[in-house]
Structure 1
Amino acid sequence: MRYIHAFLASLALAVLLSSQAYAEPKYDSGANDREIKVGQTVPFSGPASSYAVIGKVQAAYFKMINDQGGVNGRRITLVQYDDAYSPPKAMEQVRKLVESDEVLLTFQLIGTPTNAAVQKYLNQKRVPQLFASTGAARFSDPKTFPWTMGFNPNYQTEARIYGGYVLANFPNAKIGILYQNDDLGKDYLSGFKSALGDKASTMIVAEASYETTEPTIDSQIVRLKASGADVILDASTPKFAAQAIKKMADLGWKPVHLLNITATSVAGVLQPAGLDNSKDIISVNFAKDPQDPTWRDDPGMKKFFLFMETYFPEGDRTSSFNAYGYNTAQLLVEVLRRCGNDLTRENVMKQATSLQDVTLDMSLPGITINTSPTDYRVNRQLQMIRFNGERWVRFGPLLEDGTN
Structure 2
Amino acid sequence: MTIKNKVLSAVAMGAVAALALSGCGRSDGGGGGGGEDGGTASSPGITDESITLGVTTPLSGGTAGPGTCTVAGLAAYFGAANAEGGVEFGDGKTREVVIEAFDDTYDPQKALSNFQQNQGDVFAFTSGLGTPTNRAYREAAIDSEVPQVLVQTGDPIFSDQAESPWQLGFVPIYQNEGEAFGELLAGSDEDLTVAILSQNDDYGEGYVEGFKEAIAGSDNIEVVSELTYEATDTTVDAQLTELAGSDADVFFNAMSITPLVISAIEKTRELGWSPSWFLPSNTSSPVAILDPAGADAEDGFYSVSFAKAPQSPAFAEDEDVVAFLENLEEYAADYTTTPDFPHCMWSYMVGATLEESFASMTEPTRESFMEALRGIEDLRAPLMLEGTSVNTTEDGQPAVSSVVVQKYNGTGYATAESFD
TM-score range, shorter chain: 0.7 to 0.9
- Aligned partner of 1:203 in structure 2 is 222
Pick aligned residue for 1:360 from 361, 374, 381: 381
- TM-superposed CA distance for 1:28, in Å, is 0.6
Asked which structure has the greater CA Rg, the reply is: 1
In 1, are the aligned partners of 2:173 and 2:397 still within 8 Å (CA)?
A: no
SS at match of 1:106: strand
CA distance in 1 between partners of 2:221 and 2:385 (Å): 36
- Aligned partner of 1:129 in structure 2 is 148
In 2, are the aligned partners of 1:354 and 1:373 still within 8 Å (CA)?
A: no
- Aligned partner of 1:336 in structure 2 is 358
In 2, are the aligned partners of 1:290 and 1:319 still within 8 Å (CA)?
A: no
- Aligned partner of 2:57 in structure 1 is 42
- Aligned partner of 2:243 in structure 1 is 224
Q: Which has the higher contact order (CA 8 A, sep 6+)?
A: 2
Pick aligned residue for 1:67 from 54, 79, 83: 83
CA distance in 1 between partners of 2:332 and 2:143 (Å): 36
In 2, are the aligned partners of 1:51 and 1:321 still within 8 Å (CA)?
A: yes
Pick aligned residue for 1:263 from 283, 287, 291: 283
CA distance in 2 between partners of 1:26 and 1:190 (Å): 45
CA distance in 1 between partners of 2:395 and 2:176 (Å): 17
- Aligned partner of 1:324 in structure 2 is 346
Query: Cα–Cα, structure 1 residues 201 and 230, in superposed 2: closer, same or farther, change >3 Å?
Result: closer
- TM-superposed CA distance for 1:198, in Å, is 5.7
SS at match of 2:143: helix
Query: Which residue identity does 1:289 align to in structure 2?
Result: A
SS at match of 1:96: helix
Query: Which residue identity does 1:77 align to in structure 2?
Result: V
CA distance in 1 between partners of 2:162 and 2:371 (Å): 15
Q: Is it true that 1:194 corresponds to 2:213 in the alignment? A: yes
Deviating more after overlay: 320-329 vs 141-150: 320-329
- Aligned partner of 2:409 in structure 1 is 388
- TM-superposed CA distance for 1:278, in Å, is 8.0
- TM-superposed CA distance for 1:343, in Å, is 2.0
In 1, are the aligned partners of 2:57 and 2:101 still within 8 Å (CA)?
A: yes
Query: Which residue identity does 1:53 align to in structure 2?
Result: T
In 2, are the aligned partners of 1:303 and 1:361 still within 8 Å (CA)?
A: no
CA distance in 1 between partners of 2:220 and 2:109 (Å): 37
Query: Which residue identity does 2:192 align to in structure 1?
Result: A
Deviations 1:44-82 (A, max 9, x none): 122212213312332343222222222232111212111
- Aligned partner of 1:233 in structure 2 is 252
- Aligned partner of 1:82 in structure 2 is 103
In 2, are the aligned partners of 1:128 and 1:345 still within 8 Å (CA)?
A: yes
Query: Cα–Cα, structure 1 residues 240 and 317, in superposed 2: closer, same or farther, change >3 Å?
Result: closer
CA distance in 2 between partners of 1:69 and 1:51 (Å): 29
Query: Cα–Cα, structure 1 residues 148 and 23, in superposed 2: closer, same or farther, change >3 Å?
Result: same
In 2, are the aligned partners of 1:44 and 1:83 still within 8 Å (CA)?
A: yes
In 2, are the aligned partners of 1:181 and 1:209 still within 8 Å (CA)?
A: yes
Query: Which residue identity does 2:303 align to in structure 1?
Result: S
RMSD over aligned CA atoms reads 2.5
Deviations 1:89-136 (A, max 9, x none): 11111111214xx21110112111111111111111111111010112
- TM-superposed CA distance for 1:148, in Å, is 1.1
SS at match of 1:131: strand
Alignment gaps of 5+ in structure 1: 1-19, 398-404
CA distance in 2 between partners of 1:198 and 1:301 (Å): 40
- TM-superposed CA distance for 1:323, in Å, is 2.0
CA distance in 2 between partners of 1:288 and 1:381 (Å): 14
| Structure 2 counterparts to residues 68-217 of structure 1, below 5 A | 68-72=84-88, 73-99=94-120, 102-169=121-188, 172-197=191-216, 203-217=222-236
CA distance in 2 between partners of 1:277 and 1:373 (Å): 37
In 1, are the aligned partners of 2:142 and 2:164 still within 8 Å (CA)?
A: yes
CA distance in 2 between partners of 1:217 and 1:134 (Å): 23
SS at match of 1:169: coil
CA distance in 2 between partners of 1:395 and 1:370 (Å): 24
CA distance in 1 between partners of 2:219 and 2:59 (Å): 38
Query: Which residue identity does 2:240 align to in structure 1?
Result: I
Query: Which residue identity does 1:210 align to in structure 2?
Result: Y
TM-score by length of structure 2 reads: 0.83
- Aligned partner of 2:4 in structure 1 is none
Pick aligned residue for 1:245 from 248, 262, 265: 265
TM-score by length of structure 1 reads: 0.86
In 2, are the aligned partners of 1:134 and 1:150 still within 8 Å (CA)?
A: yes
Query: Cα–Cα, structure 1 residues 332 and 223, in superposed 2: closer, same or farther, change >3 Å?
Result: same
SS at match of 1:64: helix
SS at match of 1:158: helix
Query: Cα–Cα, structure 1 residues 396 and 199, in superposed 2: closer, same or farther, change >3 Å?
Result: closer
